[in-house]
């Protein structure tokens, strides 16, 4: 599958909308450079370090020390599969869950809350809503011990 089929276009003129509910994790010094169809974000900071925001796990990982290193990693099929979940993305498309412009595949139930990485746990969703809801949920549960029962989540 070509990389172009694994990423979505986003409004580069207003990236703060996508990041505002994740500032608690990513800080305010990064800019999105790529968004995967599976709803993860890749960001770059002022030192050209590239980071992967794994929305399902609610974590950010440093993945490259510059754009050239990042682009090199995007040619490694194993790395691309880890970041973009090629098989799952293919299954989602084949199941009829096609994305419209401005959408990503979003979790019905985040994995950290017991949702799985299967086609029945994903649905097309507006990019901004996806990042807003997931960021707010992860921020509210970030300090809870594993196994904590969650009775209520509030959205702003």
Closest CA to 38 of 125, 128, 115, 113: 125
Residue 43 and residue 36 in contact, taking contact as beta carbons nearer than 8 Å = no
Confidence of residue 77 (pLDDT cuts 50, 70, 90): very high
- Residue 138 in tokens: 């992860």
Q: Tell me the per-residue pLDDT of 105-128, one tens digit each, with 9 for 90 and over.
A: 999 999 888 899 999 999 999 999
Average pLDDT over residues 24-30: 95
Q: Outline where 7-144 has alpha helix (H).
A: 16-19, 23-26, 67-73, 77-84, 86-94, 127-141
Q: What is residue 141's predicted lDDT score, i.e. its pLDDT?
A: 86
| DSSP, res 99 | P
Q: What is residue 112's predicted lDDT score, i.e. its pLDDT?
A: 82
Taken as a whole, the chain contains a residue count of 156
Distance of CA 29 to the CA centre of its chain: 18
Give 141 or 27, the one with higher predicted confidence: 27
User: In which residue are the tokens 């990503």 written?
Assistant: 104
| Mean model confidence pLDDT for the chain | 91
Give 143 or 69, the one with higher predicted confidence: 69
Q: Residue ranges per domain, the chain?
A: 3-141
d(CA 70, CA 88): 22
Average pLDDT over residues 69-83: 97
Q: What is residue 144's predicted lDDT score, i.e. its pLDDT?
A: 72
Q: What is residue 101's predicted lDDT score, i.e. its pLDDT?
A: 93
Q: What is residue 45's predicted lDDT score, i.e. its pLDDT?
A: 97
pLDDT at 2 over 70: yes
């Amino acid at each position: 599958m070509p990389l172009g089929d694994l990423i979505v276009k986003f409004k580069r003129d207003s990236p703060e909308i996508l990041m505002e509910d994740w500032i608690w994790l990513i800080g305010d010094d990064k800019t999105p450079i790529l968004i995967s169809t599976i709803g993860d974000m890749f960001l770059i900071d002022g030192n050209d370090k590239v980071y992967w925001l794994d929305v399902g796990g609610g974590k950010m990982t440093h993945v490259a020390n510059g754009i050239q290193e990042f682009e090199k990693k995007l040619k490694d099929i194993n790395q691309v599969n880890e970041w973009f979940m090629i098989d799952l993305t293919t299954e989602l498309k084949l199941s009829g869950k096609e994305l419209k412009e401005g959408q990503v595949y979003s979790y019905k139930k985040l994995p950290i809350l017991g949702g799985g990485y299967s086609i029945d746990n994903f649905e097309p969703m507006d990019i901004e809503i996806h990042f807003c809801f997931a960021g707010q949920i992860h921020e509210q549960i970030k300090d809870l011990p594993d196994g904590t029962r969650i009775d209520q989540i509030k959205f702003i």
